[in-house]
Amino acid sequence: MNAPVTLALTLDRLAMRQRAEISSIDWDAMSENEGARLRALGLDEGVTVEKLHKGMFGFNDPIALKVGRMMIAIRKSHAATISVVVPA
């Protein structure tokens, strides 16, 4: 029996309205305060997120996410440090 196929990518590349699970976060790529803020917003390994929308005018910053029942916004540069897996 084959194992389920998953797609691995970073959160900034996740499609709109796509749900994914955070597989890892490169905490070293951000300051301690930025990391603490993301943790306080509920972002950590194993959490399911959904990309809701991104900023306007071609900058695509910030990115709005659904985390649990909350909607939060994070910078695109931070989203690029968050690896996610999308179940197939």
Token match 């900058």: residue?
59
Model confidence, pTM: 0.86
The span from the CA of 59 to the CA of 67, in Å, is 22
3-state secondary structure 34-58: HHHHHHHCCCCCCCEEEEEEECCCC
pLDDT given for residue 7 in this prediction: 75
Give the integer Cα–Cα distance in Å for 72 and 74: 7
Nearest Cα neighbor of 43 from 60, 59, 20 is 20
Provide the pLDDT for residue 4: 63
What pLDDT is stored for residue 56 in this prediction? 73
- Residue (of 11, 7, 8, 9) closest to 75 by Cα position: 11
| pLDDT reported for residue 88 | 72
What pLDDT does 55 receive?
77
**Do the Cβ atoms of 86 and 23 come closer than 8 Å?**
no
CATH 2.30.30.280 fits 7-86, yes or no: no
For the chain (88 residues), the mean pLDDT of every run of 10, in chain order, is 72 93 95 94 94 78 92 93 90
Per-domain residue ranges of the chain: 7-86
